[in-house]
Structure 1
Amino acid sequence: MATFFDLVTRPNESIKSKTTGKFVELSNIPTDLKIPNDWDVKPGDILSWSNYRATETYFVTHESMLLKNPDTSGAGYLTIPLSITSLFPDAVNYFFPALNVIGRSYIASIELAPTDFFFISNFTKEPLPTSIINRNNLSYSFDLNEEVLYVTRLSNSNETQHFPLQATKTSDIIQWILSLDETKTKINVKFNFEDKEMCRKVPRGIITGLPAGWQCEQKDIRMYSENKIQGEWLCEGPEKTNEDARRAIAHFYEGLNIEII
């Protein structure tokens, strides 16, 4: 299991010497980021010189180097990169004790390999098929706080889908990934609801219930009040399920007057 070393709170009572078994006196981060041979640390261990969140936190690599937290949040939170998690067959469990010490609220994401045991221990207890594992155009990232897996096409970060652990089957993930290869089409959904009673009936949030591979984004909100809601959604997904998507949109706004283009 990974170990977390807090080198701000306990700089001289954290890392031990391999030869003497005594604590090593530490002050600064090694300038060349190379871990001294005598430090009793292992790949995956987390060393923190951070005074604020995880801004100066490092991982021990397989080459005995220090790799700085890549922080995909951009706000000083901890991201465990694929180059580290791929060293372990069950990365989430391997890092879990250390992350509990750091605190879940400081964790941005855990990047995962498609072969990680995470996929077998969650969803429908099945591994991803080899055809999916062999694809090199996808990234997998687990949000520990929300308990959601994000799958993203590397060439287009807008093509991403979230999969809640408690409501996802392995087949859902596979179906969405396969949909990335299909011809896409777009649907515009325009709405203009007026009067207080009508606005109270309007469903809140993004359109749900769409077929696999479909995504919606807010294109325009011109007005949002208790007496008037006016705007537009842009939905995009596989052309072959265009009619299914239109029916899902109509069902989402059932009983309300909208324009589906």
Structure 2
Amino acid sequence: MESHHMPFPDYLHRCQQRSIDVIARQDSINWILKVHAYYNFSPVTAFLSVNYLDRFLSSYSLPLPNGWPFQLLSVACLSLAAKMEEAEVPLLLDLQLFEPRFVFEPETVQRMELRVMAALNWRLRSVTPFDYLHLFLCKLPSLPDSFASLLSASSDLILSTTRVIDFLQFAPSAMAAAAVFCAVGEGFQFPAHDAFFPKSVNKEMVRSCHQLMEKYLIETCPSARLKEPSVQPSLAPPSPVGVLDAAACGSCDTRSSSSQLEPPAKRLRSSAPDVQQQ
């Protein structure tokens, strides 16, 4: 079931009520996406990293908000996701780029990886929206653009959802369908017949996710297609935290090549155990 690979149902409410440190979460996601782009990891790797992070935070509270525990969790989640998806995985010390406040020894990261895996009940092969993209793309009656360009645009939109907490309410299949519909561009008509959707997909949740993407991501994500304003009924006002998250998405193009990012300055590797503060 998709719910087995999502945070607990009350997680979104806790984020909205700020019982979860959403600023530290946003910083973690920004760092994950930067490292993802630097190493040219697949979109699935970045999404899995955030999925692991949210599922862990929905089960456990971290001490020292915006301190080393959040950074250690981010490194562990990205490392686990890279091991699941990438053919070549950087060394744990090489993964800690962009002048982090703390640098963790490999043994420390590995211990955190074990804790994350235990919290996730060892369900690391998560169901993600990327598992459904080909299904919905193939169901389109006609493709206005090439299959590859629609797949790329849909992937960019899915990655952009990680920055807006309101998307936590949607199942992976609903997000995939909504991303495909947004990527198609102008002139798209939401499918009126239920045959387009598998029985396990909630059509109304797809519609709500589609509207939310048009409201936030089409206007704020430069990799998304430009569209005319939607004439569909608007959603209920989203959470203030979601608005802040959307505003933080100054550039959602996480597929940039590593040449567009400044290589981090080399760091001396100290023999001091565990945590090294920069």
Please give the range of the TM-score, normalised by the shorter of the 2 chains.
under 0.3
Determine which structure has more spread, i.e. the larger CA radius of gyration. Answer: 1
Name the structure, 1 or 2, with higher relative contact order (CA <8 Å, separation 6+). 2
Q: Identify, as 1 or 2, the structure richer in strand.
A: 1
Provide the TM-score with structure 1 as the length reference: 0.24
Provide the TM-score with structure 2 as the length reference: 0.23
